[in-house]
Amino acid sequence: MYKEEFDFAKSIAKNVGVFLASQNTKQINSLEGRDIKLQLDTTSEEKIISSLQSQFDHPILSEESGMNGQTTLNQPYWIIDPIDGTMNYSRNCPLACVSIALWVNSDPLFGIVYDFNRDELFSGIVGEGAWLNEIPIQPSGVQEKSSAILATGFPTYLELSQENLAEFISKVTEYKKIRMFGTAALSLCYVACGRVDSYMEKNIKLWDVAAGVAINRALNIPTEVISHRDFNTTTIVGI
Ligand code: IPD
Ligand code: CA
């Protein structure tokens, strides 16, 4: 177990989260397509990367700068999303977080997600357990889709063709309720602690889901991350 990495990453997520929560000016750097990039995405990513590199030499995959270093078989690497829920954050909608994970090969080791608006720190270590502010968490235990709440989204890079929309609608309407929180990382934490029952998103980037998937894997909740090109995944968690 990578205890030193885990403890250090928790403190970075908190520090960067507190920094983000204190910002009033949110300069927009780009608004291409369905995406938004803030200067604060870059600034907080730089803070996270420089802190991690001051202590560890694992490669880092991150949203704004891609792959830093070379991943090696059986050697851990960081996956970070400096702000997940950037659009929410830019409009002061309080559903956004900092997400840091450690993976090896295609498997998560641990994940940390810090919701800086609510001071909720979700964490999970595969093989050990998962916590919300150090208190163990559990999923809801709901077994049927017809009784379940699904968290999902229209990912930034999914082409909204008739075909994709029809497939989306046929899948989501199997559930009792649907929620789109605008942050994949927090959606996944909400599955882990029983606020919703499932999460599903197509064409979602690995950094959006890496920590949340780790937290769910830590609780033995079924997780499926199907990798496509350019760090795109189809991610399904829960029922
Ligand atoms: C976005 C969020 C959102 C998802 C989008 C992502 P970002 O990440 O996770 O829930 O639907 O596809 O791009 O841009 O806020 O890091
Ligand atoms: Ca992000």
Q: What is the pLDDT of residue 159?
A: 82
Ligand 1 pocket mutation, candidates 89, 159, 208, 234, criterion most atoms within 8 A of CB: 208
Q: Ligand 1 pocket: which of 204, 207, 213, 234 to mutate (most atoms <8 Å of CB)?
A: 204
Ligand 1, closest atom to CA 36?
A: 14
Atom 5, ligand 1: residue with shortest CA distance: 155
pLDDT per position as a tens digit, 192-221:
999 999 999 999 999 999 999 999 999 999
Non-local CB neighbours of 47 within 8 Å, separated by 6+ positions: 12, 15, 16, 19, 82
Q: What's the pLDDT score for residue 158?
A: 73
Ligand nearest to the CA of 184: 1
pLDDT value of position 198: 98
Q: Among 203, 43, 89, 221, which Cα is nearest to 142's?
A: 221
Is the pLDDT score of 156 beyond 80?
A: no
Residues 7-24: what's their mean pLDDT?
98
The pLDDT score that the predictor gives to residue 216 is: 98
Atom of ligand 1 nearest to the CA of 83: 16
Q: What angle do CA 46, 119, 90 make, to 5 degrees?
A: 55
Average pLDDT on 71-77 reads 97
Instruction: Indicate the helix (H) or strand (E) that contains 232.
Output: strand 232-238
Q: How far apart are CA 105 and CA 19, in angstroms?
A: 32
- Please state the atom number of ligand 1 nearest to the C-alpha of residue 154: 11
How much is the pLDDT for 164?
86
- The helix or strand, by DSSP H or E, that contains position 201, with its residue range, turns out to be strand 198-205
235 lines ligand 1 (CB under 6 A): no
Nearest to 131 by CA among 4, 8, 10, 225: 10
Write down the mean pLDDT value for the chain: 96
Rounded distance from Cα 85 to ligand 2 centre (Å): 6
Interatomic CA distance for residues 216 and 129, integer angstroms? 9
Q: Which residue has the tokens 């996270």?
A: 48
Q: What is the residue with the minimal CA distance to atom 4 of ligand 1?
A: 155
Nearest CA to ligand 1 atom 12: 155
Q: What is the mean pLDDT of residues 51-75?
A: 96
Question: For residues 27 and 40, is the Cβ–Cβ distance under 8 A?
Answer: yes
pTM for the full predicted model: 0.97
How many Å lie between the centroid of ligand 1 and the Cα of residue 91? Answer: 14
pLDDT attached to residue 126: 98
- Residue 29, pLDDT score: 97
- The answer to whether 45 and 63 have CB atoms below 8 angstroms apart is yes
pLDDT reported for residue 160: 84
Structure-token pair, residue 100: 């840091």
Answer yes or no: is the C-beta of 86 below 6 A from any ligand 1 atom. Answer: yes
Q: What is the per-residue pLDDT across 94-147, written as a single tens digit (0 to 9) for each?
A: 999 999 999 999 999 999 999 999 999 999 999 999 999 999 999 999 999 999
pLDDT band at 181 (very low <50, low <70, confident <90, very high): very high
* CA neighbor of 116 nearest in space, from 145, 142, 82: 82
pLDDT at 234: 95
